[in-house]
Amino acid sequence: MTDTSEAARPVLVLAGGLSHERDVSLRSGRRVAEALRGVGREVAERDVDSHLLRALREEPPGCVVPMLHGESGEDGAIREVLELLGVPYVGAGPAACRTAFDKPVAKTVVARAGLLTPESVCLPAESFRELGAADVMAALVGRLGLPLMVKPAQSGSALGCTVVRRAEELPAAMVNAYAYGPVALLERFVAGTEVAVGVLDDGAGPQPLPPVEIAPDGGVYDYTARYTAGSTEFFVPARLSEEAAAECARVALAAHEALGLRDISRSDLILDEAGQVWFLEVNVAPGFTETSTVPLAIEASGLDLGKVVASLVDAAVGRAEASGATDGGADGVAGGGAGAAASSGAGRG
């Protein structure tokens, strides 16, 4: 008799999609698939297209690992579909994804949890035009000062992000941000050490990975610096004091829990010269490319990448079996917080 249990079916890695981060997603998906095969798991890889739902119904996988980045991948849409079909998957539930992907809302939630996050303003493109761009920009600089970080409110991989050091640079930065979404986020720039902290939870409770210090050659951790080999120097663990490293880990864990995330996340932080840790943003589907910080931290911990991902798959399958369907319960805070939260700032992409 054919075994139809989740454990007997292949793991499906979803990667690609139609967002601006498609290439990064494909690279992440390939690496995750190879890592799982390396520990003996049967793996299928698939892009997102009009045939996906039919394929999931006709040949449901044992578990899905969503490696989709950007909109539709990290905004909870695909995970909502997986919930409807009762397919287990690794990662946060749909409502938590929606909250985390919307940077202003995510910042509001973590600020309410007591974390520091830079002051910022959220501005739709319509308001920017209708209220008069020159007057709006003058008010923004007057409120937040310079330098500023300008970015899309819902995007990743630092696409559309610009550091503005002079007022005359602001118009081009706004246009750049609006090219990737209808809402721009302007944030007071916090100088310091950029740190990324991953959080893993294979069912035993969330645990932080070693902090990764990010030192881009050009001084800004933009798309090129993130995904071009040799453009950024990474220090794992970060060159921090024991106290500073512990505080970075505490902030990442607190953000993970406040946002109702599960299985895996990555928080992007800044450690300023005074030793304060500032939350910038969180990622519910962190990259797994050769230059991504979560795999670097996993390897620095002495862990095997394939075994780590396999443990997350097993946790997702166990969660589904325990509940009789895919469990969306981890959405918790995010479900209510997203609707009520006011616009605020967001972190550096």
Quick check: is 266 catalytic? yes
**CA distance linking residue 332 with residue 197, whole number of Å:** 22
Name the token pair of 139. Answer: 């008010």
Quick check: is 268 catalytic? yes
3-state secondary structure of 304: coil
Name the token pair of 44. Answer: 């299928």
12-26, 47-61, 297-311, 332-346 — which is least confidently predicted? 332-346
Instruction: Give the distance between the most distant pair of CA atoms in the chain.
Output: 72
Considering 9, 17, 21, 76, which one is annotated as catalytic?
21
**CA distance linking residue 220 with residue 345, whole number of Å:** 19
**pLDDT tens for residues 43-100?**
999 999 999 999 999 999 999 999 998 877 789 999 999 999 999 999 999 999 999 9
Q: Is residue 128 part of a domain?
A: yes
Q: Is residue 143 part of a domain?
A: yes
Q: Is residue 144 part of a domain?
A: yes
Considering 6, 194, 257, 281, which one is annotated as catalytic?
281
The pTM of this model reads 0.87
Considering 156, 181, 260, 287, which one is annotated as catalytic?
287
Considering 268, 314, 327, 331, which one is annotated as catalytic?
268
- Band of pLDDT at residue 228, cut at 50, 70 and 90: low
Q: Is residue 252 part of a domain?
A: no
Considering 155, 283, 343, 344, which one is annotated as catalytic?
283
Quick check: is 157 catalytic? yes
3-state secondary structure of 63: strand
Q: Is residue 178 part of a domain?
A: yes
Question: Smallest Cα–Cα separation from 254: which of 100, 103, 110?
Answer: 110
Question: Regarding predicted confidence, which is higher, 137 or 209?
Answer: 209
Mean pLDDT confidence for 187-194: 96
pLDDT at 1: 35
Residue 172 belongs to domain with CATH number: 3.30.1490.20
- Residues in Cβ contact with 293 at an 8 Å cutoff, skipping those fewer than 6 apart: 196, 198, 212, 214, 234, 266, 286, 287
118, 346 contact by CB (below 8 A) = no
Quick check: is 283 catalytic? yes
Q: Is residue 159 part of a domain?
A: yes
**CA distance linking residue 137 with residue 169, whole number of Å:** 11
Q: Is residue 170 part of a domain?
A: yes
pLDDT for 2 beyond 60 = no
| Domains identified in the chain, total number | 1
Q: Is residue 244 part of a domain?
A: no
Question: Smallest Cα–Cα separation from 60: which of 19, 102, 2, 105?
Answer: 2
Quick check: is 227 catalytic? yes
Considering 188, 262, 266, 319, which one is annotated as catalytic?
266
222, 153 contact by CB (below 8 A) = no
* % of the chain residues with pLDDT over 90: 74
**CA distance linking residue 115 with residue 97, whole number of Å:** 19
Give the single-character DSSP code of 89. Answer: B
Tokens 């950024």 correspond to what residue?
A: 232
Parent domain of 183: 120-188
